[in-house]
């Protein structure tokens, strides 16, 4: 069968987006891996699936698959692309869109300037909610990685994140430590590893090694996680501008149990059809 899709990106974090509201298909893990191959397939960091909601109070169900075929709970850059996609495809005319995800409900707002704001919910720091193997909740946790003793912040933004503060993201050993942090045994569901350089209380630079995808040009939930950890640790103040290799996001979080709001662009690249085998 021929599957219609759209290629999109949020700050270079790229996605294949598939509407399974008006067309029907079931993608197997091996098909997702084939489609995600940048040499032999379409190539993407994540595959985004639009489905009818299970909850009648929601507008859509939003599912996310990494290029290795694994399903994950949340993706902030993907959420912005999702919002633009469902409006471009005329699946909805709403500016405020409510979607259900594995990580919980999300509210997406398409602004008049075309940017998208995402209510990412409140960060969760309890180790069991991340999940992370720790006896108690702390601002920093020691983590031994590749013979080095790191200090990390740990948080869930609907998916698990470890945040390491570095002096320079340019010199950060992302390629070496990223995979080791991602698969560290204290994170039973693996983890996204963020390397954060603080420029000022309202500005950071960030690189993220994403679980199941490797280092990407941008990670929306990673930006949210870094800001949440930084504000909680007293080194950042809302709002925070986050500079990623692919571009810039704005993050606002007043703290405590309040929702974190992420705002940034979403770009449509091309539409296509692919034969599923």
The residues spanned by each domain of the chain are: 2-121+265-275, 127-258
Q: From the candidates 75, 81, 224, 229, which is the catalytic residue? A: 75
pLDDT tens digits for range 151-201 = 999 999 999 999 999 999 999 999 999 999 999 999 999 999 999 999 999
pLDDT at 276 over 90: no
pLDDT tens digits for range 225-234 = 999 999 999 9
The burial of 112, by beta-carbon neighbours within 10 Å (0-12 exposed, 13-18 middle, 19 or more buried), is given as exposed
Q: From the candidates 81, 219, 224, 229, which is the catalytic residue? A: 219
Binding site as annotated, residues: 13, 46, 66, 76-77, 159, 192, 210-211, 220-221
Domains 2-121+265-275 and 127-258 share a fold: yes
The burial of 92, by beta-carbon neighbours within 10 Å (0-12 exposed, 13-18 middle, 19 or more buried), is given as middle
Angle between helices 76-88 and 220-232 (to 10 degrees): 140
What is the rounded CA–CA span in Å between residue 198 and residue 168? 9
Residue pair 59/53 in contact by the 8 Å Cβ criterion: yes
CATH number assigned to the domain covering 2-121+265-275: 3.10.310.10
Among 36, 4, 1, CA closest to 20: 4
CATH 3.30.1540.10 fits domain 127-258: no
Eight-state DSSP code of residue 129: G
Among 88, 13, 79, 36, CA closest to 262: 79
**What is the per-residue pLDDT for 264?**
96
pLDDT tens digits for range 74-109 = 888 999 999 999 999 999 999 999 999 988 888 999
pLDDT at 73 over 90: no
**What is the per-residue pLDDT for 132?**
98
Tell me whether residue 229 is one of the annotated catalytic residues. no
Two tokens at 119? 């209510």
Tell me whether residue 75 is one of the annotated catalytic residues. yes
Binding site as annotated, residues for substrate: 13, 46, 66, 76-77, 159, 192, 210-211, 220-221
What is the rounded CA–CA span in Å between residue 126 and residue 30? 34
């Amino acid at each position: 069968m021929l599957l219609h899709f759209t290629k999109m990106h949020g700050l270079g974090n790229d996605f294949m987006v598939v509407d399974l509201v008006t067309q029907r298909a079931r993608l197997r893990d091996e098909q997702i891996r084939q489609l995600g191959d940048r040499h032999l397939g379409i190539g993407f960091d994540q595959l985004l699936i639009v489905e009818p909601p299970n909850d009648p109070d929601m507008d859509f169900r939003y599912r996310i698959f990494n290029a290795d075929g694994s399903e994950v709970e949340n993706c902030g850059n993907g959420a912005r692309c999702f919002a633009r996609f469902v409006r471009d495809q005329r699946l909805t005319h709403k500016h405020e869109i409510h979607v259900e995800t594995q990580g919980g409900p999300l509210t997406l707002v398409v602004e008049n300037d075309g940017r998208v704001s995402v209510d990412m919910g409140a960060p969760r720091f309890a180790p069991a909610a991340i999940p992370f193997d720790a006896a108690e909740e702390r601002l920093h946790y020691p983590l031994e990685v590749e013979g080095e003793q790191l200090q990390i912040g740990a948080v869930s933004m609907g998916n698990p994140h470890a945040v390491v503060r570095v002096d320079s993201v340019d010199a950060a050993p992302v390629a070496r430590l990223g995979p080791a942090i991602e698969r560290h045994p204290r994170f039973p569901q693996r983890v996204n590893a963020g390397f954060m350089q603080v420029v000022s209380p309202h500005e950071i630079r960030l690189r993220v090694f994403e679980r199941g995808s490797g280092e990407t040009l941008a990670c929306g939930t990673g930006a949210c996680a870094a800001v949440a950890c930084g504000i909680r640790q007293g080194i950042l103040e809302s709002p925070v501008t986050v500079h990623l290799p692919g571009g810039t996001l704005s993050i606002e979080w007043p703290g405590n149990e309040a929702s974190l709001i992420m705002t940034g662009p979403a770009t449509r690249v091309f539409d296509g059809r692919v034969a599923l085998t």
